[in-house]
């Protein structure tokens, strides 16, 4: 595979303009990491000035800090199809985390938070290499907290959208343990199951459309999807960071859907109280995914915060 290449997807199966647009922009970059001898073909979407690998020294973006978006559990960059085009202040990146989305999976590489963080740092160093506004949604919020605590020099500001990371674990992780790992992942592959999860994620059920289901399922046929998901859940996934949240020094924006039925609403205030320089904004008439259900409001809050 070349250093940079386009990802070919069945775009004809998509109907929403935002879904088609992001599908056409997904690229692969070979990312060298300490995890494997060979680079990892990593899927990402980039909005902003033309990009062909890391900018030469002294040619980094001027003015506005780049934004880097991290998706949730068993998701992909498709999760940001409506939000990404609205974050127009400068360069914006969305990356498929190790073990998820369309990023290459190896059956020999365990998927756990430490490996995800090492891969993410290599992506940041290769593609961006300057402090970012780090935006994490759901499980991506836990990944963002972990990254900001380990690499504070890489994160200028932090945005957490209905974020995991305060309470221990993630609900689905508890279901997928041996000896039922393969059964549980087969259960999660079922489109009716995924549709029911989607219905629960939204406040307005009309958002759980056929196009949304296709966006949430396109990555399921990628090689080693099942093995990676089992590996991640058996690692325990992201545990609680509540004893370390006071160490976060970056200004932090917490956005939370007022009707979140996936993680509930209690952790929103808990995160706000635990993170020193944080502000909490409730998104009304919204479930677990404000970036999909209320993208204009979500983008406006992020842009204002980033200024």
Q: Could you tell me how far CA 12 lies from the centroid of its own chain?
A: 25
What are residue 114's phi and psi, to 5 degrees? -65, -45
| Residue 56 tokens, joined | 């030469």
Contact status, residue 89 vs residue 303, Cβ threshold 8 Å? yes
| pLDDT attached to residue 64 | 86
Whether the link from the prior residue into 179 is cis, omega within 30° of 0, is yes
- Per-residue pLDDT, 62: 57
Give the pLDDT confidence score for residue 52 in this predicted structure.
Answer: 45
What is the CB-side half-sphere exposure of residue 87 using CA atoms within 13 A? Answer: 32
Residue showing tokens 């960059």: 77
Helix (H/G/I), strand (E/B), else coil: 161:
strand
User: CA 267 to CA 162: how far, in whole Å?
Assistant: 9
Q: What is the 3-state secondary structure (H, E, C) of 261-292?
A: CCCCCHHHHHHHHHCCCEEEEEECCCCCCHHH
Residue 159 pLDDT: 98
pLDDT tens-digit map of 243-285 = 999 999 999 999 999 999 999 999 999 999 999 999 999 999 9
pLDDT digits (tens, 9 = 90+) for 43-89: 999 998 755 444 443 345 556 899 999 999 999 999 999 999 999 87
Confidence at residue 9, expressed as pLDDT on a 0 to 100 scale = 84
For the stretch 162-209, pLDDT in tens is: 999 998 765 554 444 444 467 778 888 899 999 999 999 999 999 999
pLDDT tens, 206-236? Answer: 999 999 999 999 999 999 999 999 999 888 8
pLDDT at 270: 98
Place of tokens 């969305």: 94
What per-residue confidence (pLDDT) applies to 39? 97
- Collect all residues with Cβ–Cβ distance below 8 Å to 100 and sequence separation of at least 6: 71, 73, 74, 75, 76, 219, 228
Instruction: Choose among 228, 215, 115, 165: nearest CA to 123.
Output: 115
The set of catalytic residues is 138, 260, 288
* pLDDT confidence of residue 169: 64
What's the confidence (pLDDT) of residue 236? 87
Inter-axis angle of helices 181-189 and 225-234, to 10 degrees? 120
Tokens of 222: 């990628």
Q: How far apart are CA 176 and CA 168, in angstroms?
A: 16
Q: When comparing pLDDT for 302 and 54, which is higher?
A: 302
Contacts of 290 (CB under 8 A, 6+ apart): 161, 162, 255, 256, 257, 283, 297, 298
pLDDT of residue 151: 98
Kindly list the distances between the CA atom of residue 28 and the CA atoms of 52, 70, 118, 179, in Å, as whole numbers in the listed order: 11, 16, 18, 34
**pLDDT score for 88:** 83
pLDDT for 50: 57
Indicate the helix (H) or strand (E) that contains 121.
helix 113-127
Mean pLDDT for the chain?
A: 91
Whether residue 128 has pLDDT greater than 60: yes
* Element housing 93 (H / E): strand 92-95
The reported pLDDT for the residue numbered 115 is 98
Give which of 303, 184, 301 is closest to 233, Cα–Cα.
184
Rounded CA-CA distance 292/298 in Å is 9
Q: What domains sit in the chain, N to C, each tagged with a CATH number?
A: 4-53+70-306 (3.40.50.1820)
CA distance 92 to 46: 6
The mean pLDDT of 112-136, rounded to a whole number, is 98
The 8-class DSSP code of residue 171 comes to: G
Give the Cα separation of 272 and 144 in Å (integer).
15
Of all residues in the chain, the percent with pLDDT exceeding 90 is 79
């Amino acid at each position: 595979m070349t250093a940079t290449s386009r990802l070919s997807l069945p775009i004809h199966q998509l109907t929403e303009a935002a879904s088609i647009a992001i599908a056409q922009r997904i690229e692969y970059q070979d990312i060298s990491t300490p995890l494997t001898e060979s680079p990892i073909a990593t899927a990402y979407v980039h909005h902003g000035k033309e990009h062909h690998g890391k900018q030469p020294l002294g040619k980094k973006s001027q003015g506005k800090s780049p934004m880097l978006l991290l998706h949730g559990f068993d998701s992909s960059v498709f999760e940001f199809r409506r939000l990404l085009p609205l974050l127009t202040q400068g360069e914006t990146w969305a990356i498929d985390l190790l073990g998820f989305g369309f990023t290459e999976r190896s059956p020999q590489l365990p998927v756990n938070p430490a490996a995800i963080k090492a891969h993410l740092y290599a992506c940041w160093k290769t593609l961006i290499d300057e402090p970012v506004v780090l935006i994490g949604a759901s499980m991506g919020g836990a990944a963002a907290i972990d990254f900001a605590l380990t690499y504070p020099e890489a994160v200028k500001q932090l945005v957490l959208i209905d974020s995991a990371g305060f309470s221990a674990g993630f609900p689905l992780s508890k279901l997928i343990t041996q000896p039922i790992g393969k059964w549980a992942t087969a259960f999660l592959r079922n489109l009716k199951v995924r549709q029911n999860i989607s219905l629960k994620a939204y406040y307005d059920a009309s958002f759980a459309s056929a196009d949304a289901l296709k966006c949430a399922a396109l990555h399921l046929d990628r090689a080693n999807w099942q093995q990676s998901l089992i590996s991640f859940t058996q690692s325990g996934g992201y545990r609680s960071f509540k004893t370390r949240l006071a160490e976060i020094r970056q200004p932090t924006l917490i956005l939370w859907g007022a009707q979140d039925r996936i993680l509930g609403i209690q952790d929103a205030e808990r995160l706000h109280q635990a993170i020193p320089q944080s502000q909490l904004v409730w998104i009304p008439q919204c479930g677990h995914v404000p970036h999909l259900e209320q993208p204009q409001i979500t983008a406006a809050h992020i842009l204002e915060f980033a200024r």
